[in-house]
Homo-oligomer: A and B are copies of this chain.
Amino acid sequence: MRVLVVEDDPALRAQLHKSLTEIGYVVDLAVDGAEGLYFGQQYPCDLVVLDMGLPKKGGLELIREWRQAELSFPILVLTARSAWQDKVAALEMGADDYLVKPFVMQELMARLQTLLRRAAGWSHDQLNCPPYRLDRTTRCLTIDDRQVGLTDYEYRLLEYLMLHAGQPLSRRELTEHLYDDEQQRDSNVIEVFVRRLRAKLDPQANRAPIETVRGVGYRFVTPRI
């Protein structure tokens, strides 16, 4: 974890550096807005601790410039000003938390952890079998960065196959997992969908990643070999 600290007071800066390093963070130090802007843009960091009362360039302006540059790291603001207007202004500008000096270092640390936890929280879970990538939150399939549209049931089938990549799945098992209702289908729905998937997964009809295991069912194999 890399944390950028923008703080002009040498004593506090040193203390922040010490505390953050102790719990295992990598720390960059900047003493004013200009330096802060530079660091933020230069080194990709996971979080920023920003003092609002800075020489040269105000904290608010700094936040705006970072956000305009599409830098989305969480920002924890540190300040002596406790008026609610200041807090609201900072938060609306794109800060993520606001701590009034003087503060207890333990609280700062706890808030940092919380921010990092949140920021890391929205990672998509996707099934990755190069060159295929199935994003389960967006329901998007990409083949070598090329997007392919899937219908509802095509998606369900592929998801189930990729979840159990490598192992053969019987038609029976597949229908049971794709369909809510109990009714057994005596038709060849699965075959039909497998065909459609194969066509989409492998337009050139070389080696579709869905193998048929005769007498058993189907298996998704990652084509890497």
A contacts, CB < 8 Å to B? 67, 71-74, 84-85, 87-88, 91-97, 104, 106-107, 109-111, 113-115, 118-125, 137-139, 151-153, 166-168, 213-216, 219
Chain B residues lying within 8 Å of A107, measured Cβ to Cβ, are 84, 87-88
A96 is contacted by which of B73, B91, B118, B216 (Cβ under 8 Å)?
B118
Chain B residues lying within 8 Å of A111, measured Cβ to Cβ, are 91
Chain B residues lying within 8 Å of A72, measured Cβ to Cβ, are 121-123
A73 to B121, CA, bound (A): 10
- The minimal Cβ–Cβ distance linking A223 to chain B, given in whole angstroms, is 14
Looking across the interface, which residue of chain B has its beta carbon closest to that of A125? B92
Chain B residues lying within 8 Å of A137, measured Cβ to Cβ, are 92, 166-167
Given contacts A119-B121, A137-B167, contact A152 B88 (CB under 8 A): no
